[in-house]
Amino acid sequence: MNKNTILKLMGITLIVLSLIRIFLILRFGTPSSVFWISNHVPLILGLAILFRNSFWILAETAFIFVGEVGWTIDYLFKLSFNKYLVGSTAYMFNPAFATPLKISSLLHLIVVPFGVIAFLLIKKKPKKAWKGVALHLALLLPIIIYYGDNLNLNCLFKSCINWLPTIPLFPIIFPIFYALVCVTPIIYLLNKLISNSSRNK
């Protein structure tokens, strides 16, 4: 199977599964949940992969990387040891939670691998991908603020992790921390992989 076919299949898979996920959220869940980055980034990433847009592939993969990897580790840890690391997947084991939403949540497991593989296959090193993350965040923030701290979309107003305290000025500190400590290093590392790959040819 050639590179273009693999990219096309990955893009279409993410788009289809994301649209199913969004439909199920609207049908069985809370519509505002669509604005969690884990519920709409896969659609954007799928489109970026389908159209071979390395800028948005890198931006969206970096934006969602830590959250998705954390979800995956927490889920697999629970399956393996019957304990949570952070508790972000507790809803997956709640009998009251809608089964279709549980099944569609397994999309979490493939988003980052698809993003990383697609980026490495395209092998184009985009400039300033952080601007894509900043734009996405700028568009998302007014929506998060509109829904307020009761819904706590994307954990902006208070910590979603048991061992991470909600400190004063959390809504200001958290986005800055996430951008500097979680997003920026991923952009750097993925670009470094492309550079090393090109150098070894």
Domain count for the chain: 1
What pLDDT score does 198 carry?
60
What pLDDT score does 194 carry?
87
Rounded Cα distance, 89 and 72, in Å: 9
Give the tens place of pLDDT for each residue, 24-80.
999 999 999 999 999 999 999 999 999 999 999 999 999 999 999 999 999 999 999
**pLDDT surpasses 80 at 196:** no
Mean pLDDT, the chain, rounded, equals 94
What pLDDT score does 201 carry?
58
**pLDDT surpasses 70 at 197:** no
What pLDDT score does 160 carry?
87
Rounded Cα distance, 132 and 107, in Å: 22
Give the tens place of pLDDT for each residue, 81-122.
999 988 899 999 999 999 999 999 999 999 999 999 999 999
Which DSSP string do the residues of 72-97 spell out, in sequence order? HHHHHHHHHHS--SS-TTGGGG-TTS
Share of the chain above pLDDT 70, in %: 98
Residue 59 domain boundaries: 3-199
Least confident of 120-134, 154-168, 171-185: 154-168
CA angle, 24 as apex, 20 and 29 as ends, to 5°?
150
Q: Identify the burial level of 168 via C-beta atoms within 10 angstroms of its C-beta, where 0-12 means exposed, 13-18 middle and 19 or more buried.
A: exposed
Residue type, 19: L
Paired tokens of 25: 């959220």
Paired tokens of 154: 């994307």
Share of the chain above pLDDT 90, in %: 87
